[in-house]
Amino acid sequence: MSAALKQLRWPRAQSDAARLALWTSAEIAAATGGTAYGEFQVSSVEMDSRDVQSGDLFFALKGEAMDGHRFLDMAFANGAAAAVVDRPIDRPHVLVEDTTSALLALADAARQRVSARIVGVTGSVGKTGVKEAIFTALERTSRGAAHRSVRSYNNHVGVPLSLSRMAARSRYGVFEMGMNHANEIAGLTAQVRPHVAVITTIAPAHIENLGSMEAIADAKAEIFQGLEKGGTAVIPADSDHFEQLRDVALAQGAKVLSFGRSAHADMRLLDAIAQSDGGSLVTASMGAIGLVYTVAEPGEHWIDNSLCVMAAVHAAGGDLGAAGLALAEMGGLKGRGARLRAKVPGGHALIIDESYNANPASMRATLKQLGQTPATRRVAVLGSMKELGDFADRFHAQLVDPVSAANVDYTVLVGDEMRSLARQMGKLPRDTLGNALRYAHCENAGEAIAALQEFGLAGGDVVLVKGSNSVGLSRVVDHFAAKEG
C-alpha cells in the first residue's frame, strides 16, 4: 500500500468532521456578548492592520497611545472579512462595549470548545525555540492538527490573540507565556489552562523588576497555577531552583517530569556527540525508554532544550519519534539562531542571528557556541542586556570571560550598558603575538555596521550578533545578510 493511500485511510477522529471556518459571526457575537452586523465567517484573527490577510477578523484594540479604529480602512483594504469594534461602522462587524475585553472573551471561548491537549511554555531562556520544536513534533503526530502562538506572542494581548486563532478541530495547542513582573504568568496560565506546563530554565532575565533569582523562579512557577487537573509540570533537573519549582508544582497537584543531565532527571541525557554541521547526536533515556536522535540546532544549550522538548511531547501524549524528526529538521528562527550567509571579499561570512533577545545565560551559551564554530576569524557583535537593574554592570562585565574563551578576534559592543564590558576588555592581556585584543564600543546599530565595515569582513569569518531586541541589532543582520549571494 502506498504512503498516500495509507494517509487517506488514516483513522478519522471526531474533530475531522468539524467545519473549516474558524469563527462565524454568530459565534463571535455569542462569545463576546456583542451584536453582529452582517453574516460572515472568518479564517483567522488579527490585531495589526498591516498583518491582516483575506478572510481575517480584525480587532480594533485601544491602548494608551493607539486606537485600532483608526486603521479600519487599512484592515479592510488588506482583506478583512469583518471587524470587532466599539462603535458602528458601515462594514461587517461585531459591536461590543470594549474590544480588549471582547478579545479575552473570544480566547476563553476558543479554549472551552476544544478537546485538544494544551502545552504552556515559559522560562528565562529558550522558550520560543522550545515552543516551536514542541509544536513541530505535535503537528507531525496530529497530521497538521496542532496550533501554536506565533512569533513571541506571549503577553497579555498576544496570548489571548493566539488562543482565539485556535481551530475547534485542533488536537494540540502550544502557547508561550512571558513576563517581566510577578503575577503576569498567573493571569496568562489562567487563560491557557495547560495540561502540560513547561519551564525551560531559570536565569537572571528581568531581575531588575524581580530582585532575585528566587523571585524569578517563583514568577515562572506561576504557570503551574493554571494546570488542568492531573496535569504535568516539566522542569529543569539541573537548575539550582529545581526543588523550588518541584515543590510549587506538587503543591498544585501536578505530576512532575524533569529533564537534564543530573542523575535524578526523568528525561536524562546519557551522551551527546558533536556533528560536523554544528548539531548533536543525542542519546537519552526516560525510565525504560531509550532515545537516540539528532538535534540540528548548534550549541550545547540546544541539547538541553531537546530534552525539554522530548519530556513535553511525552507528557502531551505525542510521538517521541516525531519529536526526534522535528529536532533533526529544525532550522534557526529569525533573531533566535538563524544562520545566514553574507557575500564578502574572499567568499562568504556566516552570520549567526541572535538579535532578538539577550540575558547573561543566553549570552554565555551563544558565545560558547561561537567558540566551537569553525572559522577563519570570529567576530562578536554584542548589544546591551536590558532589565538587569542594579545588576547590569556586574553581568555585563562578567561577559569578558566567555568572550575571551571563545577566542573572538574582534568584538563590537553596542549600547551604554556595554561600557562595563568595554572596560574589562581593555584590561585583558595581549595575545601570544603581543597584539591587543580588538574591540570597539558603539552607541547604536548604525555605528556597529560602520565598525564592521572598517574591520572588513572576509570569507570564512563567523559573526555572532546578539543583544536585547530594543538595541536594534537586527539592522546589523539585515545589512550584511542583504549581501547574500
What pLDDT shows up at residue 20?
61
- Residue 452 scores a pLDDT above 80: yes
Residue 28 lies in a domain: yes
C-alpha cell at 69: 479604529
What pLDDT shows up at residue 136?
95
Cα(358)–Cα(370) distance, integer angstroms: 15
Q: Which of 329-343, 424-438, 466-480 is least confident?
A: 424-438
Residue 426 lies in a domain: yes
Examine the domain organization and report whether 359 and 411 are in the same domain. yes
Look up the CATH number of the domain holding residue 272: 3.40.1190.10
Examine the domain organization and report whether 214 and 322 are in the same domain. yes
22: pLDDT confidence band, cut at 50, 70 and 90? Answer: very high
| DSSP labels, 183-249 | THHHHHHHHH--SEEEE----STTHHHH-SHHHHHHHHHGGGGGPPTT-EEEEETTSTTHHHHHHHH
Are the C-beta atoms of residues 92 and 146 closer than 8 Å to each other? no
Of 58, 82, 81, whose CA–CA distance to 71 is shortest?
A: 58
Residue 400 lies in a domain: yes
Amino acid (1-letter code) at residue 126: G
Examine the domain organization and report whether 185 and 284 are in the same domain. yes
9: pLDDT confidence band, cut at 50, 70 and 90? Answer: low
Q: Which of 10-19, 186-195, 249-258, 322-331 is least confident?
A: 10-19
Q: State the chain's mean pLDDT as an integer.
A: 91
Q: Which of 155-169, 385-399, 420-434 is least confident?
A: 420-434
Instruction: Tell me the mean pLDDT in the region 26-49.
Output: 97
Examine the domain organization and report whether 271 and 191 are in the same domain. yes
Cα(97)–Cα(315) distance, integer angstroms: 40
79: pLDDT confidence band, cut at 50, 70 and 90? Answer: very high
Q: Which of 5-19, 150-164, 202-216 is least confident?
A: 5-19
What pLDDT shows up at residue 321?
94
Examine the domain organization and report whether 163 and 52 are in the same domain. no
Are the C-beta atoms of residues 112 and 49 closer than 8 Å to each other? no
Instruction: Tell me the mean pLDDT in the region 396-422.
Output: 94
368: pLDDT confidence band, cut at 50, 70 and 90? Answer: very high
Instruction: Tell me the mean pLDDT in the region 128-156.
Output: 92
Examine the domain organization and report whether 384 and 352 are in the same domain. yes
Cα(220)–Cα(234) distance, integer angstroms: 12
Instruction: Tell me the mean pLDDT in the region 67-94.
Output: 97
What pLDDT shows up at residue 57?
98
What pLDDT shows up at residue 276?
73
Examine the domain organization and report whether 198 and 318 are in the same domain. yes
8: pLDDT confidence band, cut at 50, 70 and 90? Answer: very low
Examine the domain organization and report whether 296 and 392 are in the same domain. no
Examine the domain organization and report whether 166 and 272 are in the same domain. yes
Look up the CATH number of the domain holding residue 74: 3.40.1390.10
Query: Which residues does 427 contact at the CB level (< 8 Å), separation at least 6?
Result: none
Cα(142)–Cα(171) distance, integer angstroms: 7
Cα(113)–Cα(86) distance, integer angstroms: 25
pLDDT digits (tens, 9 = 90+) for 383-394: 999 988 888 999
User: Percent of the chain scored above 90 by pLDDT?
Assistant: 77
The last residue of a domain, from among 98, 128, 160: 98
Instruction: Tell me the mean pLDDT in the region 430-437.
Output: 58
Q: Which of 291-295, 318-322, 335-339 is least confident?
A: 335-339
Residue 5 lies in a domain: no
User: Percent of the chain scored above 70 by pLDDT?
Assistant: 94
435: pLDDT confidence band, cut at 50, 70 and 90? Answer: low
Question: Three-state secondary structure along 101-161?
Answer: HHHHHHHHHHHHHCCCEEEEEECCCCHHHHHHHHHHHHHHHCCCCEEECCCCCCCCCHHHH
- Its pTM stands at 0.81
Cα(295)–Cα(126) distance, integer angstroms: 15
Cα(109)–Cα(277) distance, integer angstroms: 45
- Residue 6 scores a pLDDT above 50: no
Residue 324 lies in a domain: yes
Residue 11 lies in a domain: no
Number of domains in the chain: 3
What pLDDT shows up at residue 330?
85
Cα(480)–Cα(461) distance, integer angstroms: 12
The more confident residue out of 337 and 346 is 346
What pLDDT shows up at residue 325?
94
Residue 103 lies in a domain: no
